[in-house]
Amino acid sequence: MGMTGKNSRSRTHRIVQAMTGNWPSRAYLALCAGLLAWVWVDSTFVEHPDASLAGAVPLLVTAPTSIAIALVPDGSAFGYYLVVALAALVNATLIGLALRALRGGDGSSRPARTGTAHT
């Protein structure tokens, strides 16, 4: 493969690393997965005399990216889960990139500690 393939793999690796290579992003993804599971259980097994607001919580947690739900035709359940999952992945990547920028590097190293010498 040429340099284009290598650069593409490197870019993909950096994106996946930003998305899942730190605990804040992983915790956010776990929260979103748990919320989607809750919505599925609520909509599948719980009978409500009125509408349930369970589906609104994942949208709020994945906002503003989840605003794309407005683009889903017919408001299908599959479209809802897909939009929320993709919004969670985008937001987790942004969390990882922000963390990397705050740490001033690749996001996996801790900031250098200064003044820790004991006399």
Indicate the residue type of 42: D
Give the C-alpha separation, 106 to 95, whole Å. 13
- 47-69: per-residue pLDDT in tens? 988 888 999 999 999 999 988 77
Q: Cβ distance 43 to 52 under 8 Å?
A: yes
Would you call 2 helix, strand, or coil by DSSP? coil
Give the C-alpha separation, 32 to 23, whole Å. 14
**Closest by alpha carbon to 95, among 37, 49, 32?**
32
Mean pLDDT of 77-93: 92
Indicate the residue type of 101: A
- Confidence bin at 107 (pLDDT 50/70/90): very low
**Per-residue model confidence (pLDDT) at position 94:** 95
**Closest by alpha carbon to 84, among 50, 26, 40, 27?**
40
- 4-43: per-residue pLDDT in tens? 667 777 888 888 999 999 999 999 999 999 999 999 999 9
